Amino acid sequence: MTSYVLQRTVQMIVVIFGVVTVTFFAVRLVPGDPARLMEPPGTPESVIKITREQLGTDKPIPEQYVNFIRDFVRGDLGTSFRGSRPVMDTVLEALPNTLALGLISMALTTILSFGIGIVAAMRPNGWFDRIALVLASIAQATPGFWLGVILALLFAVELKWLPAVGRTGWKSFVLPVATLVISLMPLQIRAVRQAFIETMGEGFVRAGRARGLSETTVLGIHVMKVAAIPLVTLIGLQAGYVLGGSIVIESIFNWPGVGTLALQAINQRDFPMIQGTVLVIAIVYTLINFLVDLTYAALDPRVKY
């Protein structure tokens, strides 16, 4: 186990290093001189040159890269062009909001999907199964942002039951969480259903029944433990979707999270902030998948350490 954790840790570090590198070069590919963007239009070239020196963007790219990596390792993501605060502080301030939204959505999605998926799997092609699958198909076909826009119009603007923007208490979670959950659930319901149906056909299920184990034991322990294994991977992937998708959902609900920060940074070409948000999202995602791998290994003894 220890060597497995070690191996996954090394792999994770490689991935993070890769993401850092890709991010650095991707941002540098974007045309436009940050120094010029920072200064008001009409600023003389001499002033822009000084700004460039301050930013370090006058140096050759390899040197900038080395500096960037050095600063990154120290936890320094630079300073936002918009405002004088360190990027790290701003992103870390916004991260809890994104995580809160993501975790609540993922938890709710998982609970609901397991409930619905298992009930559907009990009687494949039964009425519950059919209704669940039809609704899942429709939900899966609905663009998440479109749904968010409509939910906001309906429940915040027309009915005035819920806030339309911001994070102002538990009520403000309802719409963005609902949007995310509805977008995430279809896939998970299908996967849960599929996993349970397949697992219930396995020989060990019949063997368990043959030695007189109760249906509750067979389904609740044997089937659940086996079916959960592929689902852990799916949940990990969906966590990535939540983090990436937060950019859109957060913008619709003006949620004070990393997504809003990222979109705004992109609009303003705030390069350090773009870098910071991308890196933090990618690192969180990588960490989640690291945890998923460990969970996977813990759940499935067949994984070779």
Site for another protein in 60-79 (CB under 8 A): none
Q: Does 91 bind another protein (CB under 8 A)?
A: no
**Exactly one of 102, 176, 245, 272 binds another protein (CB under 8 A); which one?**
245
Q: Is 119 exposed, middle or buried (0-12, 13-18, 19+ CB in 10 A)?
A: middle
Residue 99 Cβ vs another protein, minimum distance, rounded to whole Å? 15
For tokens 């790290």, name the residue: 88
Q: Which residues fall within 8 angstroms of residue 56, CB to CB, at 6 or more apart?
A: 64, 67
Q: Which residues 153-212 are close enough to bind another protein by CB under 8 A?
A: 153, 156-157, 160, 162-166, 168, 187, 191, 194-195, 197-212
Q: Does 33 bind another protein (CB under 8 A)?
A: yes
Q: In sequence order, which ranges of the chain are alpha helices (DSSP H)?
A: 2-29, 34-38, 45-55, 61-73, 87-122, 127-141, 144-151, 170-200, 203-210, 215-217, 224-252, 258-267, 271-299
Choices 59-67, 70-78, 95-103, 257-265; region in contact with another protein by CB under 8 A: 257-265
The residue (of 18 and 56) whose beta carbon lies closer to another protein is 18
Output the six-digit token pair for 43: 């600023």
Length of the chain in terms of residues written = 305
Pick the closer one to another protein by CB: 59 or 209.
Answer: 209
Q: Is 58 in the site for another protein (CB under 8 A)?
A: no
Q: Does residue 301 touch another protein according to CB under 8 A?
A: yes
User: Which window, 2-10, 59-67, 69-77, 246-254, contacts another protein (CB under 8 A)?
Assistant: 246-254
Residue 3 or 125: the one with the smaller Cβ distance to another protein is 125
Pick from 40, 60, 62, 75 the residue near another protein by CB under 8 A: 40
Q: Beta-carbon neighbour count of residue 16 at 10 Å?
A: 18
Residues 124 and 101: their CA atoms lie apart, in Å, by: 33
> Up-side HSE of residue 121: CA atoms within 13 Å toward CB?
24
- Tokens coding 18: 């890769």
Span from 57-65, 70-78, 105-113, 223-231 in contact with another protein (CB under 8 A): 223-231
Q: Is residue 44 part of the contact set for another protein (CB under 8 A)? A: yes
- What SS3 state is found at 201? coil
Shortest distance, position 74 Cβ to another protein, whole Å: 21
- The reply on whether position 95 binds another protein by CB under 8 A is no
Binding flag, residue 14, another protein (CB under 8 A): yes
Least Å distance, CB 111 to another protein, is 19
Q: Which of 275, 254, 303, 300 is nearest to 87 (CA)?
A: 275
- What residues numbered 101-160 form the site for another protein, per CB under 8 A? 121-126, 137-138, 140-146, 149, 152-153, 156-157, 160
Query: Among the candidate windows 2-10, 30-38, 58-66, 96-104, which touches another protein by CB under 8 A?
Result: 30-38
**HEC letters along 28-89:** HHCCCCHHHHHCCCCCCHHHHHHHHHHHCCCCCHHHHHHHHHHHHHCCCCCECCCCCCEHHH
**Binder to another protein among 97, 98, 110, 238 (CB under 8 A)?**
238
* Binding window for another protein (CB under 8 A); candidates: 23-31, 52-60, 70-78, 103-111: 23-31
Roughly how many angstroms between the first and final C-alpha of the chain, as a whole number? 6
